[in-house]
């Protein structure tokens, strides 16, 4: 049996089998943080937008952003509206629980 992987997901698995795509996120103070991409997803009731869930490799806090691709570049926008953020957060946790149930 393997040990917890240390990626913050809390599951026992071997990262050689499950490689997480990563990207660098530039913060407001210009520091860069490498994050694992947990997924890009739609939210029911919010048309025309996609969202991304990121997990900093040095932290266990999931970051949620609006996700767009413009001219081949990935653009992440903060979710300013509290009601929108709550819907996005609820959707992410629902998806995460579904994935968690599948792996058990």
Residue that the structure tokens 């609006």 belong to: 66
Contact yes or no for 65/78 (Cβ under 8 A): yes
SS3 101: helix
Confidence of residue 98 (pLDDT cuts 50, 70, 90): low
Segments forming the whole domain that contains residue 91 = 22-103
Q: What is the pLDDT of residues 2-30, one digit of tens each?
A: 344 444 455 554 444 457 799 999 888 99
Q: Report the DSSP beta bridge partners of residue 85.
A: none
Q: Is residue 93 assigned to a domain?
A: yes
Residue 9 lies in a domain: no
Q: What pTM, to 2 d.p., does this model score? A: 0.73
**Structural domain contains residue 1:** no
- Length in residues, the chain: 104
**For the chain, how many structural domains are there in total?**
1
């Amino acid at each position: 049996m393997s040990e917890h992987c240390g990626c913050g997901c809390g599951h026992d698995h071997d990262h050689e089998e499950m490689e997480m795509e990563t990207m660098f996120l530039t913060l407001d103070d210009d520091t860069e943080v490498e994050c694992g991409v947990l997924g890009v997803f739609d939210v029911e009731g919010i048309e025309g937008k996609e969202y991304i869930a990121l997990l900093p490799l040095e932290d266990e806090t999931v970051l949620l952003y609006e996700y767009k691709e413009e001219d081949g570049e990935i653009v992440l926008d903060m979710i300013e509206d509290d009601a929108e953020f709550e819907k996005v957060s609820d959707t992410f946790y629902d998806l995460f629980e579904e994935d968690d149930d599948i792996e058990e």
